[in-house]
Structure 1
Amino acid sequence: MHPILFEAGKFTVYTYGFCIAMGAVLGGLYMYRQGKKQFGWTFDQANTLFVLLIVGGVVGGKLFVIFENPGYYLKNLKQLFSGSGFVFYGSLLTAIPIMLWYFRKNKIPVLAMLDVMAIVTCIVHGFGRIGCFMAGCCYGKQTPSFLGVTFTHPLCQAEPKNIPLFPTQLMEATFIFAIMILLLVYKPYKKFNGQLFITYLILYAIGRSVLEIFRGDLERGFVIKDLVSTSQFISAIVVSVAIYFYVKLRRKATLNHQRK
């Protein structure tokens, strides 16, 4: 694909980083506008959370890279500082406690704001997966089907090169943006605060588990070798916890409605 967007002398702009930046900016703008509209956020409040989430997302994403395949990355430490090589679940699971702490500290309705952050997450993550496609990371297995994409650029991380692979990055980006559209359409009809965020977690975790079947990058790590990947294992936990809170919050909302 196109791992390098453009070069100007010794200055190089990588497509992966550009896509991440685009997603972060668009997601940040949505977060600020919705936060201001619904809860009276100031720009400083939104900007502070934006910075905290970027730092937390990078640290969490990199830490989970080691967690998924410690043997590989301890032998290849340079890969930890490459432009790509983030684990989304690491970023997400780091971001959630940061958001909970920040919303409570600033007396912002936690569940209602999490619904906003579900859309923000889709925006950032969707653009990030497009960046993955351009960099060739998170690639799929070999396939003779019409879906196959051949990576030829020497800087692409996809392996093997010059052989059609499932474009799992674009498949996931499409799925993520589909979730985002679904959440935006359903937003006016939600039954309780937190419903959009929990729905996002459930849908993404299920979809991610399916997409893992088509992934070809073995270094992402497995809980059960060649059978259950680390991301599938985390997805199972996420779905279980999310369903528990969905039922709990739905039941609470129903009881509150009956009391009125």
Structure 2
Amino acid sequence: MYNDIFAIGPVEIHGYGLMIAIGVFCALWVAAKRAKNNLDVNVVYDLTFIVLIFGFIGAKLLYILVEIETMIKDPMQILSGSGFVVYGGILSGLLAAILYCKKKKISFLKYFDLLIPSVAIAQGFGRIGCFLAGCCYGSETDSFIGIAFEHSEIAPNGVKLIPTQLFSSAGDFLIAFILIMYAKKGRSDGKVGALYLILYSIGRFIIEFYRDDYRGFIGYLSTSQFISVITLIIGIVMFFKLTKRWINHEFENRLHR
């Protein structure tokens, strides 16, 4: 639980950044390997770069909105810190990917299905980075699963907290595994991505009950829970609409045989 891993001269290697770098590398490797079957690997590289850039921007912007009061009082604390809101990155990354695919006149849904398991992998490593940094921490607990931070500049030190970061990480890796297995059989374009929206939204909604860092609220729901409800509905509608389209397509094919 040390964010400062080691230093080489004046350069310090932080756990949060290191985990993000490892996550991006693993995610890109998995996506490129899966793309070799029937999709353009160069497009995968382009989309990865675009999603990363706009994802970080979107995650930071949503964090600024959530912490707007602190932003007004002390802008440098927000701008120079490691605070991000994942949903901001997901939404802005998706929008950037849609615009890129539209410009290139290629199927967004095909590449969405290809890249989304890699997104879950990157998120899994990112949450380990959150654990090392002490951000996104859980509420106090007397349970045996509780972990006490001793050197965190973000999480409360010396008290046992629910390791929500590690639970989130395990959930992200599990989602990635499920999606990759699900994608092995022929699926309608977009169904893998829709399944991600469903699984991630449910997991994020639940884990929010156990987090204790301020994330902003809309009514009784945290900002992330409110967004989770929206993305869950979108995912369910997409999944069943694409399923219906696939059934109709199969029915038409059988009629013409």
Name the CA distance, whole Å, in 1 between partners of 2:49 and 2:12. 24
Task: Give the C-alpha shift of residue 205 in structure 1.
Answer: 0.5
Report the counterpart of residue 200 of structure 2 in structure 1: 204
Q: Is the partner of 2:7 in helix, strand or coil?
A: strand
- TM-score w.r.t. the length of structure 1 is 0.92
Distance in structure 2 (CA, Å) of the matches to 1:145 and 1:178: 24
1:25 aligns with 2:18: no
Work out which of the residue numbers 142, 153, 158 in structure 2 matches 1:156.
153
CA contact (8 A) 1:17 1:83 kept: no
Partner of 2:247: 254
In structure 2, the residue matched to 1:91 is 89
Report how many residues are paired: 253
1:181 is aligned to 177
Distance 2:97 2:195 in 1: 17
**Structure-2 separation of matches of 1:107 and 1:209:** 35
Q: Residues 110-143 of structure 1, C-alpha deviation per residue, up to 9 Å, x if partnerless?
A: 2221111111111111110000000000000000
Structure 2: state its 5+ residue gaps.
none
Q: State how far apart, in whole Å, the 1-side matches of 2:64 and 2:241 are.
A: 34
CA-based RMSD of the aligned residues comes to 1.5
Where 2:41 maps in the other structure, the secondary structure is coil
Q: CA distance change for structure 1 residues 28 and 191 in 2, over 3 Å: closer, same or farther?
A: closer
Deviation per CA, 1:59-84, whole angstroms, max 9, x where unpaired? Answer: 10100001223113322322323452
Comparing 80-89 with 194-203, greater Cα deviation is found at: 80-89
Report Cα offsets for 1:145-199 as digits up to 9, x if no partner: 011010011x4311x2100001000010001111111112222235312111110
Task: Return the match for 1:55 from 53, 56, 59.
Answer: 53
Seen in structure 2, the aligned counterparts of structure 1 residues 143 and 249 have a Cα distance that, compared at 3 Å, is same
Q: Is the 8 A contact 2:109 2:189 kept in 1?
A: yes
Match of 1:231 in 2: 224
Structure 1 partner of 2:211: 215
Query: Structure 1 vs Structure 2: percent identity of aligned residues?
Result: 36
The 1:40/1:52 distance shift into structure 2, 3 A limit, reads closer
Deviation of 1:100 after TM superposition, in Å, equals 1.4
- Are the equivalent residues in 2 in contact too, given 1:190–1:196 (CA < 8 A)? no
Equivalent position of 1:76 in the other structure: 74
Partner Cα separation in structure 2 for residue 246 and residue 148 of structure 1? 37
CA distance in 1, matches of 2:132, 2:41: 35
Which residue identity does 2:165 align to in structure 1?
Q
Aligned match for 2:62, one of 64, 78, 85: 64
Segment of structure 1 superposing worse, 136-145 or 63-72:
63-72
In structure 1, give the amino acid aligned to 2:153.
C
Unaligned runs of 5+ in 1: none
TM-score for both structures, normalised by structure 2? 0.93
> Which amino acid in the other structure matches residue 138 of structure 1?
C
* One-letter amino acid of the structure 2 residue matched with residue 215 of structure 1: R
Q: Give the aligned partner of residue 241 of structure 1.
A: 234
Match of 2:5 in 1: 5
Which amino acid in structure 1 is aligned with residue 221 of structure 2? Answer: V
Q: Quickly say closer, same or farther: Cα 1:102–1:30, change in 2 above 3 A.
A: farther
